[in-house]
Chain A
């Protein structure tokens, strides 16, 4: 080894240098320090980023596990999982396939999620019911290799049929991974993204876990299907649908010419889904067993006390649905007493572990006559009566009548009409003004209210169709439309003379819409697209969102409010009105329900309004009163400290042109 030689200009070693050299040294030292800082920053940033990403993956996995725990239904679970994955990882489109034909093909099952349906219409259309043979396309490749597939070049995938559509929608990369039950692939999830999807061992691990979790749902649904083919329900020990069908068919065949002598009582539990969602399906299963036992006892005791000659059969025909078949002549009063016995036996709360839960039932009944051509028809009549009972509220009984049959048919037609109304642009927003209750009476904003310009029935309010829209699964689509319209209205609103600051528009948002995983993104997108000031949009929710998922609701509110959008709690005082909701939900205002305003002459209402206003003041919420019809009401409310109000006194809801016309500056 060469001996170390010092550069002669530094000798003697350790001597203080002259000033020029000292400055040069310091500059070199500063440079080294800077490089060290940058290196330290890079190390810290990598650590923080890894930590962030791993937290994000774990939270996604937690959400998927929750979805898998709550549901026994594969389709619903797949749709929720696709939405969560896309929203967390920033993928634009997710689609699910079920594996069919002895592992030979992957068929799309109408379970998909698109960040923006209109932009991705081409790809959605090409994927929604696509099917791929083993080895073909993304799903077929996963099926063939059993591994996750990543690509930046769809053309490189053998048998790919959608490269063109994906490209037209701006997708630059895609991935797909299997959902497994043990080693068998039962489904494939695929994702497309505009941004490059970067393959990493961590992400692969997360996708594997997701596949395993979703596989559990498939496994449960299979087990359930197997039970259905057995003759007895393993869980409750009751006869199942197959036995009911067999016995009913035999009983029906033996009916006399007048068709009388067979009755069906259908009952469906209320609140069972909530118990399942809250405590998990194991808990739900225990509850069903207890319910079955009580029902069995109730039916036997009714039979012994009332008509011993009638033969009865209690069957479990679905998740939380039971049927009592009665063979022999039973009159309506006797049937009514059976329904009564059923409601009564379910009314004491059920104890499971250390929890106490209450469930009720909706009961529908039908008796045979010469108008029935099969037992199945009779069962459908009873079913229909049960749905009517459910619509009327908890623990109700409804007997089938021909009039009921007719009105249900009408409701079905209405549902179809609501579906078409969206496409035919028959919906319109009306706007009701909200004024300040102080002496100046300035215009603060408007509440957007949905109206349906029905081609034959005139202008309809939401009361007349919102249940239908809900049944038809249209609430989210309709809600998105409403939000967009309201934003566009804000964008074109001229300056209004009665307003001191640009008025807000409040939009009612249904819980299912509000709790979509990308609701905050949708709101932000609409504000940006219509280029409005976010503070002019106010989202109105009811306490129901907090009842369904308080934590998620608070998170959505925080996000939209951080962006500048306002939030208000509607109908306060009518529901649970729990103080904890008010405390935990970040809000700007709350609305006192019109029922309190209408009864403002009653001391009880006055006290409630006072309490609400005081409470709201303490936590900095503006109180808005609804349904103000008289000056007196407005004065009293203002006296209590209520800041804003709406109602016929200030103006009815009007179409947009009318609002602008009257109040333009």
Chain B
């Protein structure tokens, strides 16, 4: 997992619940807490943080991931404005994520396996987003999509047609914009 995800989580938690909350979360999860955006860290750390947050806040891990993803988007926009500025709608921004992610991962680890979103145009302007996420990070992706729609002032409905957590071979979200 790229360090930036942990940095964003820290920012979201701090903004929502205060600096002490992040401190408590890190210590209760027994993770290192040392994350920089130019490094990669064990996926396990994120699951632990989410698990502890879920217990502390009385929300499911899925809800935590979705909420985090949605709130992280404005922070990403503040930090990496250039990635957003070329787009007028969240649909075109979402279609560009592979181009954003691949260099980000590969610049650090050449030849590393990259997460890859597969896009298919569905009927009535629907966009199908396929992703192989054995650890259920499709909920984080769900939150990111919502956050992106917020950023561009769009409204989007997200349904999870397929999910690896339910035994499907891949995860697949259908996105339908009403604005």
Of the listed stretches A41-49, A291-299, A356-364, A467-475, name the one at the interface; the rest are far from the partner chain: A41-49
Contacts of B108 in A (CB 8 A): 48
Instruction: State the CA gap A436–B79 with chains docked (Å).
Output: 55
**Contact indicator A562/B103 (Cβ below 8 Å):** no
Interface positions, chain B 129-179, Cβ under 8 Å from A, are 130, 132, 162, 168-170, 172
Assess whether B103 is in contact with A531, with CB atoms less than 8 Å apart.
no
> A401 to B147, alpha carbons, bound, how many Å?
75
| Residues of A close to B113: CB separation below 8 A | 562-563
Tell yes or no: A65 within 8 A of B by CB.
no
Complex contact A172–B92 (CB within 8 A):
yes
- Out of B92, B103, B106, B132, which one reaches A534, CB within 8 Å? B132
Does A237 sit at the interface, judged by CB under 8 A?
A: no
Do residues A531 and B162 form an inter-chain contact, with CB atoms below 8 A?
yes
Q: How far is the CA of A610 from the CA of B157 in the complex (A)?
A: 59
> Cβ of B107 and Cβ of A49 under 8 Å apart?
yes
A residues in contact with B38, CB < 8 Å: 41, 44-45, 48
Say if the beta carbon of B60 comes within 8 Å of chain A: no
A529 near B95: Cβ-Cβ < 8 Å: no
A170 interface residue per 8 A CB criterion: yes
A147-189 interface code vs B (CB 8 A; 1 in, 0 out): 0000000000000000000000010100000000000000000
A223 to chain B, nearest CB (A): 40
Q: Is A203 an interface residue (CB 8 A)?
A: no
- Among B38, B104, B132, B169, the one with the most A-chain Cβ atoms within 10 Å of its Cβ is B169
Asked if A462 is at the interface (CB within 8 A of a chain B CB), the reply is: no
In chain A, positions 514-538 with a C-beta closer than 8 Å to chain B are 524-525, 527-529, 531-534, 536
A481 at interface, CB cutoff 8 A = no
Q: Quick check: A528 and B92 within 8 Å, CB to CB?
A: no
Which of A49, A195, A533, A534 interacts with B99 by CB under 8 Å?
A195
B121 touches A119 (CB 8 A): yes
A196 to B170, alpha carbons, bound, how many Å? 28
CB of A528 within 8 A of CB of B170, answer yes
Task: Choose among B96, B98, B103, B132 the residue that contacts A49 (Cβ–Cβ < 8 A).
Answer: B103
A549 at the interface (CB under 8 A from B): no
Smallest CB separation, B174 vs chain A (Å): 12
Asked if A22 CB lies within 8 Å of chain B CBs, one says no
What's the least CB distance linking A31 to chain B, in Å?
A: 10
Contacts of B36 in A (CB 8 A): 37, 41
Is A564 touching B132 in the complex (CB atoms < 8 A)?
A: yes
Q: Is B116 an interface residue (CB 8 A)?
A: yes
Residues of the A chain whose Cβ atoms lie less than 8 Å from the Cβ of B126 = none
Interface residues of A in 4-52 (CB under 8 A from B): 27, 37-38, 41-42, 44-45, 48-49, 51-52
Contact with B along A551-589 (1 / 0, CB 8 A): 000000010001110000000000000000000000000
Give the contacting residue for B86; candidates A56, A196, A525, A531; CB below 8 A.
A196
User: Taking the nearest CB of chain A, how far is it from the CB of B95, in angstroms?
Assistant: 6
A198 at interface by CB-CB < 8 Å: yes
Smallest CB gap from B131: residue in A = A528
Give the size category of B's interface with A.
20 to 34
User: Which A residues between 333 and 390 are near B, CB-CB below 8 angstroms?
Assistant: none
Shortest beta-carbon distance from B78 to chain A in Å: 11
A320 to B116, CA, bound (A): 46
Bound-state CA distance A194–B111 (Å) is 25
Complex Cα spacing A528 to B172, Å? 9
* CB of B124, distance to nearest CB on chain A (Å): 15
Asked if A170 contacts B121 (CB within 8 A), the reply is yes
CA distance A529 to B19 in the complex (A): 44
| In contact, A51 and B132 (Cβ under 8 angstroms) | no
- The residue of chain A having its C-beta at the shortest distance from the C-beta of B129 within the complex is A528
Q: Name the CB-closest residue of B to A555.
A: B111
Residues of A near B121 (CB, < 8 A) are 119, 170
Give Cα A119–Cα B132 distance, bound, in whole angstroms.
Answer: 23
Residue of B nearest to A502 (CB): B169
- Interchain CA distance A172-B99 in the complex, whole Å: 15
CB distance from A566 to the nearest CB of B (A): 14
**A172-B92, A195-B95, A531-B130 as given contacts; A524 in contact with B37, CB under 8 Å:** no
- C-alpha gap A489/B24 in the complex (Å): 51
Determine the chain B residues whose CB is within 8 A of the CB of A562 once the complex forms: 113
Restricting to B14-55, which residues have a CB under 8 Å from any CB of A?
Answer: 19, 36-38
Whole-angstrom distance between the alpha carbons of A527 and B168 in the complex?
Answer: 13
Cα A562 to Cα B115 with chains together (Å)? 11
Binary per-residue interface labels of chain B (103-128) against chain A in the complex, 1 for a CB within 8 Å, 0 otherwise:
11011100101001010110000000
B169 adjacent to A529 (CB under 8 Å): no
Q: Using Cβ atoms and an 8 Å threshold, which residues of chain B touch A202?
A: none
Given the complex, which residues of B lie within 8 Å of A534, measured CB to CB? Answer: 132, 169
**Residues of A contacting B98 in the complex (Cβ-Cβ under 8 angstroms):** 90
| Contact residues of A between 77 and 121, Cβ < 8 Å to B | 90, 119
Chain B's closest residue to A56 (CB) is B103
Nearest chain B CB to A217 CB, angstrom units: 30
Residues of A within 8 A of B95 (CB): 194-195
Q: Mark B73-89, 1 if CB is under 8 A from A, else 0.
A: 00000010000001100
Closest approach, in angstroms, between the C-beta of A39 and any C-beta of chain B?
Answer: 11
Q: Is A53 in contact with chain B by the CB < 8 A criterion?
A: yes
Q: Which of B96, B106, B172 contacts A531, CB < 8 Å?
A: B172
**With the chains together, A335 CA to B104 CA distance in Å?**
67
The reply to whether A528 and B99 contact each other, CB–CB distance below 8 Å, is no
Q: Which partner residue on chain A sits nearest B104 by CB separation?
A: A49
In whole angstroms, what is the CA distance A536 to B169 when docked?
10
Contact A52 B106, beta carbon cutoff 8 Å:
yes
Contact A195 B96, beta carbon cutoff 8 Å: yes
CB of B179 to closest CB in A, whole Å: 19
| Beta-carbon nearest neighbor of A197 in chain B | B86
Tell me the minimal C-beta distance from B5 to chain A in angstroms.
Answer: 13
A528: B residues at CB distance < 8 A? 118, 120, 130, 132, 170
When the two chains form their complex, are residues B37 and A41 in contact, meaning their CB atoms are under 8 A apart?
Answer: yes
**Closest CB-CB distance, B133 to chain A, in whole Å?**
12
Q: Which residue of A lies closest to B100 (CB)?
A: A195
User: Looking at A48, A51, A53, which has the most chain B CB atoms within 10 Å of its CB?
Assistant: A48
Nearest CB on A from B108, distance (A): 7
B interface list, Cβ under 8 A from A: 19, 36-38, 79, 86-87, 92, 95-96, 98-99, 103-104, 106-108, 111, 113, 116, 118, 120-121, 130, 132, 162, 168-170, 172
> Can you give 13 A-B contacts (C-beta < 8 A)?
A41-B37, A45-B38, A52-B107, A53-B103, A194-B95, A195-B95, A195-B99, A525-B118, A527-B170, A528-B120, A528-B170, A529-B118, A532-B170
Beyond known contacts A195-B99, A531-B170: 7 more, CB 8 A cutoff: A41-B37, A196-B96, A528-B120, A531-B162, A531-B169, A533-B170, A563-B113
- Closest CB pairs A-B (n = 5): A528-B118, A52-B107, A533-B169, A196-B86, A528-B130
